[in-house]
Amino acid sequence: MTNILDDIFGPVAPPTPVLLDRSPLERYATCPFQGHACEAGKVMTEAEPAASGIEAHKALAEVVAAFVRGDPEMVEAGMVAAQQSRPDVQPDVLTAVRPGLWRLMQALKHIEVGDPPYVLRNPADVLRYQGGQGDRTGQVAWDLFPAAGQRPATRLTSEIDLLLATPAADEMEEWDFKTGHTNWAAGDIRASFQFPFHAWLCFRNYPGLNRLWVRVYMSRFGSFTGAACFSRRDLSDIEARLVGAVRAREDAAKAVAAGKQPETWPWPSKCEICDAARLCPRLAGQWKMMDDPGAFVTGLALREQQVEADTKALVNLCQSTGKTFEGDGFAFGRKPPAKETKASFGFLARK
């Protein structure tokens, strides 16, 4: 029996899904404060390296598009796209892609199989790619949480640079293009946020897929990493991590609505490259040098004097009591002597 309101007004449209792209979600998985600050537009996240990377990806995508349409001038297509990139970053784009265009063309055209050394690849093996249309679009999405009543679906999405079929019906291969200076390895693929996320999207969209092999192509060096494998057995682990990132975003929004700061998850390797570090309450005062370098110098000198005095007092306390003092994961006490020298005092290995 149909709903009478549906008969009069037509079916009620479901609420618009909450669309979460990989990059913003990764920031929340790294630190909720960073994620909120970037999503709220409190900091500028597009820098010159990012702009150059976007333009360089377009050039590499042109090589793939030329292969798909059967254009033999694949390298030329990529070079033209690089030359026509944004003028402010064009020199770096050319440097980023020129060494790798020929190698990418050869890798696309030939499947390395050992003996004989290769067979020709069929363009139909390209399942998805950046710039692809319809079912071959590189943009892949899936609802982590489906819509329920008036609650909209939470839809996760990301763009895959290149997804290829393999001779095995239950296996696929992803190639991701990196145009920066980082030298990637297969272990980095497994440890990242991006590639487990991509694996989750592929497993959800392709029910017959059991293994996804992921390789990074570093265009500045013209070389591939080894392949890292994700299997369907990894699905629950990856999904739990994605749920945690979405929950971190929701908790950050609730904190802001209550007039509080989102949680911070500081760690030196993260804070050094965080776009929102200058706003972070855990790093308050460390950015005053940007506003008044002279006052910062004075403050630094005074802080060094205070630290020196505090350290002497703590050393005297350790010597007089013979104890090691611990607090919030740190320890200070007598260090074991190195060779023939006497023991010194200082911070010990973090617990």
Q: What is the DSSP string of 290-309?
A: HH-HHHHHHHHHHHHHHHHH
Side chain identity at 325, as an amino acid letter?
F
pLDDT higher than threshold 60 for residue 5: no
Considering the domain 19-256 in this protein, what is its CATH number?
3.90.320
| 317 φ/ψ angles, rounded to the nearest 5 degrees | -65, -40
Question: Which of the two residues, 300 and 351, has the higher pLDDT score?
Answer: 300
* Domain extents in the chain: 19-256, 288-347
Please, are residues 172 and 209 in contact by the beta-carbon 8 Å criterion?
Answer: yes
- For 278, what's the count of Cα atoms within 13 Å in the CB-facing half-sphere? 11
Beta bridge partner(s), residue 157: 21, 141
pLDDT higher than threshold 70 for residue 6: no
**pLDDT tens per residue across span 142-151:** 999 999 888 9
Please, are residues 181 and 142 in contact by the beta-carbon 8 Å criterion?
Answer: no
Question: Which of the two residues, 293 and 98, has the higher pLDDT score?
Answer: 98
Average pLDDT over residues 43-55: 82
- For 133, what's the count of Cα atoms within 13 Å in the CB-facing half-sphere? 3
Q: How far is CA 46 from the centre of its chain?
A: 14
- pLDDT band for 285, please (50, 70, 90 cuts): low
Average pLDDT over residues 103-128: 85
Please give the mean pLDDT across all residues of the chain. Answer: 89
Please report the pLDDT score of residue 265 as a whole number. Answer: 93
Residue 304: partners with Cβ closer than 8 Å, 6 or more residues away:
none
**pLDDT tens per residue across span 27-39:** 999 999 999 999 9
**pLDDT tens per residue across span 150-200:** 899 999 999 999 999 999 999 999 999 999 999 999 999 999 999 999 999
Residue 260: partners with Cβ closer than 8 Å, 6 or more residues away:
none
pLDDT cut 90: percent of the chain above it: 66
